[in-house]
Amino acid sequence: MGSLSKAFRALGDPTRLRILKVIAAARLNVGEVVSLVGVAQSSVSHHLTKLKALELIREERLGSYTYYSLAVDKASALWPLIELTRASEDTHGDQARLSELLRRRDDVQTLNEKLLEPGQSWQLWSAALSTLLPRLDVVDFGCGTGTLTIELAHWAKKVTAIDKSESTLARARAAAAREGLTNITFLAADLTDLPMPAQCADLVVSSQSLHHVEDINAVLAEGARLLKSNGRIVVLELFPHDEAWVKQRLGHAHLGIAPEVLEEAMRKVGLEPFVQRVPWARGSQSPFKAFLVTGTRARKTPGRSKAA
Ligand SMILES: C[S@@+](CC[C@H](N)C(=O)[O-])C[C@H]1O[C@@H](n2cnc3c(N)ncnc32)[C@H](O)[C@@H]1O
């Protein structure tokens, strides 16, 4: 009885409960637990030590990793606690991330594609094909830490990389400097009101940024305003989903955006859209699936005008 009440008390800590819940579902190493619950490794290690001391989980060494798995079976007095843990509410979306992690781990094809460099590397293919593109003036909406910005800068004439977060821009700047790229201008600004002249861009890209902004029409209007005649905007967005935790944890303003809503919003600002509904995680259990919409700026846009 003593060990049961001790274990109950220990699981009063919500992070520890989340960790036990994911380990009850799969054998995991520390790095994997960190990626699932999103707290510092030192804190995860502390919780794992505590759970091990309570004999709720066990540790085993496999290759260069230490894995943790459930140490309790149905015959144990602690089993009701495991059942309660499993039934506890998943308010942070840990189980969706766990399904994705297990899918990747088991996906032999994905592993093969990673191993079979360079012929089947999609990153290399995209780099190779991008050399066929004309040297365009590109604007990257919500550039984040700059992964896409850097790929664009390898072939573009110049890239203006915009983000509202100064600290994120600093990381993007450092990544670009490491690659020796000198054709990127970083700009801290709000996508709904950009201090940039009209018709300065051939291409605007927005990769998973629009769902962060309440007023998507205002962002698209700015995109349309920046584009030269016949310029293109390419938006990568998430299909609508039910993962409400992303609002608080990741700052999303929308739970995905329906392609039809995006198309309609584009038309309103004078962009002619066509939609490629390409799910990125074909056949996976992930609730996050992406699609692309490309819009072309009509010769005259009804968008707001600002001095060029
Ligand atoms: C999910 S990240 C996308 C990063 C990158 N485009 C990618 O695909 O890897 C979204 C980015 O949009 C930025 N963002 C959100 N709202 C914004 C706004 N109103 N103005 C400028 N940037 C914004 C965030 O700071 C964040 O870096």
Tens digit of each residue's pLDDT (9 = 90 or more) over 178-208: 999 999 999 999 999 999 999 999 999 999 9
The answer to whether position 192 is within a domain reads: yes
Ligand 1 proximity of 253 Cβ (cutoff 6 Å): no
Ligand 1 atom having least distance to the Cα of 144: 27
- Shared domain for 82 and 159, answered yes or no, is no
Q: Are residues 154 and 283 in the same domain?
A: yes
The CATH code of the domain that includes 138 is 3.40.50.150
Domain that holds residue 147: 124-297
Tell whether ligand 1 has an atom less than 6 A from the beta carbon of residue 168: yes
Asked if 37 and 44 count as a contact pair (C-beta separation under 8 A), the reply is yes
* pLDDT above 60 (res 166): yes
Quick check: 37 pLDDT over 80?
A: yes
Mutate to test the pocket of ligand 1, among 187, 209, 220 (most ligand atoms within 8 A of CB): 209
* Ligand 1 nearest-atom number relative to CA 147: 9
With H, G, I as helix, E, B as strand and everything else as coil, classify residue 160: strand
Q: What mean pLDDT is predicted for residues 123-138?
A: 85
Give me the pLDDT at residue 177, please. Answer: 95
Which one-letter DSSP state was computed for residue 40? Answer: -
* Conformation bin of residue 180: beta by default, left when phi > 0, alpha when psi is -120 to 50: left
Nearest-CA residue for atom 4 of ligand 1: 144
% the chain with pLDDT above 90: 58
Q: Are 143 and 169 in contact (CB under 8 A)?
A: yes
Listed residues 70, 102, 134: the one ending a domain: 102
Per-residue CA distances from 142 to 49, 91, 291 (Å): 40, 27, 17
Largest CA distance in the chain: 77
Residue 135 lies in a domain: yes
Q: Are residues 155 and 273 in the same domain?
A: yes
Q: Which residue's C-alpha comes closest to atom 8 of ligand 1?
A: 207
Ligand 1 atom with minimal separation from the 140 CA = 6
pLDDT, one tens digit per residue, over 46-96 is 999 999 999 999 999 877 788 999 999 989 888 989 999 999 999 889 998
DSSP result, 186-239: EEE-BTTB--S-TT-EEEEEEES-GGG-S-HHHHHHHHHHHEEEEEEEEEEEEP
**Residue 193 sits in the same domain as residue 52:** no
Per-residue pLDDT, 283: 53
Angle of CA points 93, 94, 100, to nearest 5°: 100
